[in-house]
Structure 1
């Protein structure tokens, strides 16, 4: 039987995967035309992240991350075209911070090793750093960076949800 927490990780992973695939299927349109859909999905992920925080250790990171997801979604929704360059930079910062934090959490909780969770966190750190330190160059390839980072995030979330499921058996 799966617990509430496992389901939340898997649902969040699926949502990230959907958003990531949209960036690959419709690269230019996903940044401009589909920004409303993507914004709504980010808002939903933000709410789910806040709900998932509960009384967990490190809950303030989850609450902060959820608020950032919601704000990111609102900015995308309200200013889709005028915020394109800022959007890429903000996204790069979000990916970098998320990757670094998740790397520390994986070390602390014993998930660190050669597994999909650690590799996905390392990829997030690398992608975030590239986008933050080369935002204008990254703007051209932004849909693919964003899509890849979201799919990698999805794999990490789903892996963690499945790992938690196996832990409670």
Structure 2
């Protein structure tokens, strides 16, 4: 049985909501790629600068997710988007309010955020599996996020340059994945 986006979309409120806001997922992807490229361009970045850069990224990502949850109209459960949004906003604010303290625990902080976000993205993909083809893109993003968080937990003493590169690679892969997902959702837009 194949999925016909025109006929099946009316019975899929979550898909309609995500398709209507595909551009927010695209913005999340673009922000991720830009963040990753900036991290590669400035490999000697200090822990404090990285804290502010990452805090800005987490805040933008959280606001975009929260906006998608709020503007989802009559869609079904948008709880996973709401949680991702609130988690990102909280992480971003924490990084700006306590930058010195955050710099000291940034690796564990980012690891916890990445693991939680990954779990929520997989949860969201599972909820979408009957509504959309290509939900695997969100699953891939979630798995990458969880793996990235686990690597940071298991290797906390890695050199600053290696950490910057790991974060940059994660952000670029995450960004590209979300850009692909956004264009897939755009094809379902009414």
TM-score range, shorter chain: 0.7 to 0.9
Quick one: structure 1 residues 167 and 18, their matched pair in 2 at CA, closer, same or farther if it must change by over 3 Å?
A: same
Segments of structure 1 that go 5 or more residues without pairing to the other structure are: none
3-state secondary structure, aligned to 2:84: helix
- Count of matched residue pairs: 165
| CA offset digits 1:117-152 (Å, max 9, x no partner) | 544433222211111233233766221222122112
- The answer to whether the Cα contact below 8 Å between 2:51 and 2:102 also exists between their aligned partners in 1 is no
Greater shift, 21-30 or 137-146, is seen at 137-146
Q: Is the counterpart of residue 69 in structure 1 residue 88 in structure 2?
A: yes
1:167 aligns with 2:181: no
- Relative to structure 1, the CA distance from residue 70 to residue 138 in structure 2 (aligned partners, 3 Å threshold; closer, same or farther) is farther
SS in 2 for 1:29: coil
Q: Distance in 2 between matches of 1:24 and 1:152?
A: 13
Superposed CA deviations along residues 80-111 of structure 1, whole A, max 9, x for unmatched, are 34322411111111112222332343344233
How far off its partner does 1:50 sit? 0.8
Query: Which segment is superposed worse, 156-165 or 53-62?
Result: 53-62
> What CA distance in whole angstroms lies between the structure 1 residues aligned with 2:109 and 2:159?
12
Shift of 1:52: 0.5
Partners of 1:103 and 1:112 within 8 A in 2: no
Please, which runs of 5 or more residues in structure 2 have no aligned partner?
Answer: 1-18
Q: What TM-score, normalized to structure 2? A: 0.72
User: In structure 2, what is the Cα distance between the partners aligned to 1:86 and 1:163?
Assistant: 37
1:6–1:125 distance in 2 versus 1, CA, 3 Å: same
TM normalised by structure 1 equals 0.80
